[in-house]
Structure 1
Amino acid sequence: MEVKLITMTPNYLRLIWLAARTCYSPLSPIGLSEQEPPVDETFRLVDQLLKKKHLSVLEHCTMTFAVENVSRTLLAQYSRHRIGVSLSVQSQRYVSERHENEIFDFVLPDEIERTDEAKKAFLRAMDQAQQAYNELLALGVKREDARFVLPGGAGTNFVTSLNLRSFLDVYRKRVLTPGAQWEIKEMLQRMAGLLLEREPWLDPYLRPES
């Protein structure tokens, strides 16, 4: 798995402060944008908003990640989070998975890899899927139909953009809430690590509530 932060809105704290102050100040947003509020005042306001769950102003803050070598199973889970989340996925219709001397990219879960017999069964299934895919293409079947034999473990790549409100919601459901699967949890934790390098003040809000 590879996760890279491609771009993000600069200075989340200041932007959230501006959006929030616009709602309650007689000053115009342009006038407010020309102010330089003290950092402690800005953080205090944003902290109050987060604690009171007044989260709409967080939607102005965005982030875009490139994600590589994750499974289609992860993609199915992640794509259930649709509000405030944009997704552009490598297409199996247009990108061929045909390989003659190797197997398509896939994700091998650690639990399977730890047991020799389980690993052999898994790799055998991947090889059989590759052979079936190649055979279907050789028979003239289109890629969009041949891909039906590929498993949920097949690898994929995508670009995803989220606003901060959506990211905190997905993170809470897939990382902080028990029961989420390991792969999507790992992806979101890597995203959070990259985000915290730019916006370290977010750290307390990416922890379980006490």
Structure 2
Amino acid sequence: MSTQPPPTESAAAPVRFRDDVGVELVKHSASDSDVLWAARVSTAGEQSLEELTKDPERSRGLINFLMRDRHGSPFEHNSMTFFVTAPIFVFREFMRHRVGWSYNEESGRYRELQPVFYVPAADRKLVQQGRPGKYEFVEGTPEQRKAAVAAMEESYAQSYAAYQEMLAAGVAREVARATLPVGLFSSMYATCNARSLMHFLGLRTQHELARVPSFPQREIEMVGEKMEAIWAELMPLTHAAFNANGRVAP
């Protein structure tokens, strides 16, 4: 659970390149007992609050039942807020998830954007084969990787130089930012509950236990993997039930 904060604002800041993403848990109100008191109110009324003082392990079977039979609302009575740093193109996919999510992203209208850009890591598969729905990614050659990274770095440097030139000429930040590419790093707060997170993970990660296969872009999957690792520590019984029942959101 870590993040690399953006550098201090400076007109002379050098262009930097990253091949990772950052996810940090800012705050939470999330535990397996939240699922239990929410579920048991249907039969126990106010006595369901007793679940707050009991060991949720004793009700592992109830959590699994709720997940298996897709009784989803008890998984909504919790909250997790993450601070995410990732390329803009990741956020544009991320924000397609609207139900059960809240977002606040840094603004290029109100602050000078920092020169931090994404380049693929050495293990990022570069070449797509096949057709949509039946394609796969393969490694690519060293020459392809070298060409891709060189083209990205050159493009990033030129676009940020143009951005700085416009700012220096007095052009408004909201206008000057138009020259910047989607490989630029941004940051946001993202708040969700366990049910909305499970839906996100079902679509944005690949997993051997998934009942329904998914084919996410690797960079958003990297974010999903970090978020899942944090969530699994907060709600281990719920996470185990999610995996045991095919990683389908209830």
TM-score range normalised by the length of the shorter chain: 0.7 to 0.9
181, 203, 209: which is aligned to 2:240?
203
Stretches of structure 1 lacking an aligned partner (at least 5 in a row):
99-103
8 Å Cα contact 1:22/1:32 also seen in 2: yes
Q: Are 1:13 and 1:43, in contact at CA under 8 Å, matched by a contact in 2? A: no
Between the aligned residues of both structures, percent identity stands at 27
1:56: which partner in 2? Answer: 73
Q: How does 1:134-173 map to 2 (within 5 A)?
A: 134-173=164-203
Q: 1:4 aligns with which of 2, 24, 41?
A: 24
For 2:39, the equivalent position in structure 1 comes to 20
Task: Say whether residues 1:119 and 2:130 are aligned partners.
Answer: no
Instruction: Report deviation, 1:40.
Output: 4.6
8 Å contact 1:168–1:206 — kept in the other structure? no
Report the counterpart of residue 210 of structure 2 in structure 1: none
Q: Structure 2: how far apart are the matches of 1:17 and 1:132?
A: 55
Superposition TM-score, scaled by structure 1 size: 0.86
Q: How well do the aligned residues superpose, as a CA RMSD in angstroms?
A: 2.2
Change (3 A) 1:195 1:40: closer
> Which 5+ residue runs of structure 2 have no aligned equivalent?
1-20, 127-141, 207-212
Is 2:91 the counterpart of 1:75?
A: yes
- Could you report, residue by residue, the CA deviation over 1:163-187 in whole angstroms, capped at 9, with x for unpaired residues? 1100000000111343210111011
CA-CA distance at 1:43 after TM superposition? 1.6
Closer/same/farther in 2, CA of residues 38 and 72 from structure 1, 3 Å limit: closer
The answer to which structure has the higher helix fraction is 1
Call closer, same or farther: CA 1:76–1:181 in 2, change over 3 Å: same
TM-score by length of 2: 0.73
Query: Relative to 1, partners in 2 of residues 1:106 and 1:168: Cα closer, same or farther, differing over 3 Å?
Result: same
**CA deviations over 1:143-202 (Å, ceiling 9, x no partner):** 001111110000011111101100000000111343210111011111111121232221
| 1:203 partner letter | A
Equivalence for 2:116: 105
Deviation at 1:207?
Answer: 6.7
